[in-house]
Amino acid sequence: MKFPFLLPFRAFAALTLLALAAHAAPAIKIGFLVKAPEEPWFQLEWKFAEQAAKELGFTLVKIGASDGEKVLSAIDNLAAGGAQGLIICTPDTKLGPGLVAKARAAGLKLLTVDDQLVSANGQPMTKVHYLGISAGKIGEDVGKTLAAEMKKRGWTAADTAVCAATFDELATAKARTDGAINALKAAGFPENRIFKAPQRTGDIPGSFDATNILLTQKPDVKYWLVCANNDNGVLGAVRALEGRGFTAATAIGVGINGTDCIVEFEKAKPTPFFGSMLLSAKSHGYDTAKMMYNWIKDGKEPALDTRTVGVLITRENFRQVLKEQGIRD
């Protein structure tokens, strides 16, 4: 070794450089909290967010939280762990103002996805960044699909009724079923044969129970058309219909998400689950994660309100469309 006296200096210089590098670019950490981690839709959102994390080089913290208390403690944990941002589909949109205050106090940038926060008076919090679906339009497409399929089969309005499994406490859900009902009415379906089955919870059991009550009240309907907030809403209704002997030949259901109905489409025998409006899990997972990353890294604020579209999938085309969208191999 020629200049042994230089060693301590070199070690010092290397350490200083490392410290400087760490200071110049703090590791980016982003939380992605979803309300129902067991549902395929949210698993796909996470999968695409993870893809962004890998490509851009940040840490993604996935959190499942089914109630408000869990959301608030998740924010504390994220802040303690050095996160700078939170993407959230909250289990309770009415947490709105409290959630915003808590995130701000914790120094977290906030981007809401899927479900928009509401203020104390129930109005959407339009100043909080949000990426969601064009709920009314997608709902209308559900209604148009149901009306077209009914016409194709030659069912009369007198023999047919609509079961709308509703979850009106969630604004995006209400906009979807309202859109479907409006499109059915616009297609000439009589309003007095459109029935709402209000769900107590936003999951499959919630719509199963609600639909069973409706079916008990309307035993004489020959054919049913079904719409709901999402695939799970239609799935619950379909299971209730099957319990009363309805089949793919006597009931038509059209869901929303296109991700939670794949198993249904893969069944050898068709069920009343006719189709679904496939949403873009990639936009909701990858794009939101990238928006948050750019916001933290370069101060590039995302658009306040972004809306995504849906495309109809059925047993006929789902394999091809899922492949095109990178959801299935």
287 interacts with ligand FCA by CB under 6 A:
no
41 interacts with ligand FCA by CB under 6 A:
yes
Taking the complex as a whole, how short is the minimal distance between the CB of residue 45 and ligand FCA, in angstroms? Answer: 8
Instruction: Give dist(CA 290, CA 307) in Å, integer.
Output: 16
The neighbouring-strand residues paired with 306 are 131
89 interacts with ligand FCA by CB under 6 A:
yes
CB atoms within 10 A of CB 311: 16
Taking the complex as a whole, how short is the minimal distance between the CB of residue 39 and ligand FCA, in angstroms? Answer: 6
257 interacts with ligand FCA by CB under 6 A:
yes
For 66, residues 6+ apart whose C-beta sits below 8 A from its C-beta are 35, 36, 91
DSSP string, 266-308: HSSS--SEEEEEEE-HHIIIIIHHHHHHHHHHH--PPPSEEEE
Nearest to 202 by CA among 178, 177, 182, 228: 228
Residue closer to ligand FCA by CB (options 89, 322) is 89
Per-residue binding letters, 192-211, with ligand FCA (x by CB under 6 A)? ----------x---------
Residue closer to ligand FCA by CB (options 108, 170) is 170
Q: Do 65 and 35 contact (CB within 8 A), yes or no?
A: yes
Residue closer to ligand FCA by CB (options 128, 296) is 128
Q: Count the residues of the shown chain that bind ligand FCA, applying the rule CB under 6 A.
A: 12
Residue closer to ligand FCA by CB (options 46, 189) is 46
Taking the complex as a whole, how short is the minimal distance between the CB of residue 15 and ligand FCA, in angstroms? Answer: 48
- Which DSSP state fits 85? E
Instruction: Give dist(CA 319, CA 262) in Å, integer.
Output: 9
Residue closer to ligand FCA by CB (options 27, 263) is 263
115 interacts with ligand FCA by CB under 6 A:
yes
Taking the complex as a whole, how short is the minimal distance between the CB of residue 298 and ligand FCA, in angstroms? Answer: 28
Q: Which two tokens stand for residue 242?
A: 């099957």
278 interacts with ligand FCA by CB under 6 A:
no
Nearest to 174 by CA among 247, 103, 124, 236: 124
Per-residue binding letters, 148-187, with ligand FCA (x by CB under 6 A)? ------------------------x---------------
279 interacts with ligand FCA by CB under 6 A:
yes
Instruction: Give dist(CA 167, CA 97) in Å, integer.
Output: 22
**Binding residue for ligand FCA (CB under 6 A) from 92, 114, 264, 287?**
114
288 interacts with ligand FCA by CB under 6 A:
no
Residue closer to ligand FCA by CB (options 215, 255) is 255
256 interacts with ligand FCA by CB under 6 A:
yes
Q: Provide the residue type at 83 as one letter.
A: A
Taking the complex as a whole, how short is the minimal distance between the CB of residue 160 and ligand FCA, in angstroms? Answer: 26
Residue closer to ligand FCA by CB (options 41, 318) is 41
276 interacts with ligand FCA by CB under 6 A:
no
Secondary structure class of 65 (helix, strand, coil): coil
**Binding residue for ligand FCA (CB under 6 A) from 30, 87, 118, 133?**
133
DSSP string, 142-210: HHHHHHHHHHHHT--TTTEEEEEEE-TTSHHHHHHHHHHHHHHHHTT--GGGEEEEE-SSSSHHHHHHH
Instruction: Give dist(CA 32, CA 112) in Å, integer.
Output: 10
Q: Which two tokens stand for residue 265?
A: 């489409």
Contact residues toward ligand FCA (CB under 6 A) are 41, 89, 114-115, 133, 172, 202, 229-230, 256-257, 279
